[in-house]
Amino acid sequence: MKINNTKTTHLVAAIALTLCSFGVFAEVHPEIKSEVKSEVKSEVKSEDHSEESHNKLALEHAQEAVKAADAKAIVEHADAAKTHAKIADEHLDAGIKSLGEAIEHGKLGHDKPAKKAAEEAVNHLKAAQ
């Protein structure tokens, strides 16, 4: 089968356009993602967490992601929910560690360190709620 110059030109042009399309998508997509992430991080930092727990905020953002009308809003809320969930998880882990320390000190008869560790556990568990 013989390919003439016109078919070769069209084939090369189609391949070039396809590769350019992938290149443009790959180049633009990370910019959009980083822009959205920076907006969400600034939103999370600016929220007042004194009264609301991270678990509650994670749930609220996840529910807002479900209600969102467009992909950008879904990403924003899902990312915020994930951030709050991770923070809550870190507090739970710290609370569990503090409880273990309270148990260890208590078994050794160390009243003050046991009490201090238990207080730390309460603080972490409250923050994780």
Q: What is the C-alpha end-to-end distance of the chain, expressed in Å?
A: 71
The confidence score (pLDDT) of residue 101 equals 96
Domains of the chain: total: 1
The confidence score (pLDDT) of residue 45 equals 47
| Higher per-residue pLDDT: 86 or 15 | 86
- pTM equals 0.56
Q: Using the predicted structure, report yes or no on whether residue 118 has a pLDDT greater than 60.
A: yes
The confidence score (pLDDT) of residue 62 equals 94
pLDDT (average), residues 42-60: 65
Instruction: Count Cβ neighbours within 10 Å for each residue of 66-103 and write b for 16 or more, e otherwise.
Output: eeeeeeeeebbbbbbbbbbbebbeebbebbeebbebbe
| Higher per-residue pLDDT: 80 or 49 | 80
Q: Using the predicted structure, report yes or no on whether residue 74 has a pLDDT greater than 80.
A: yes
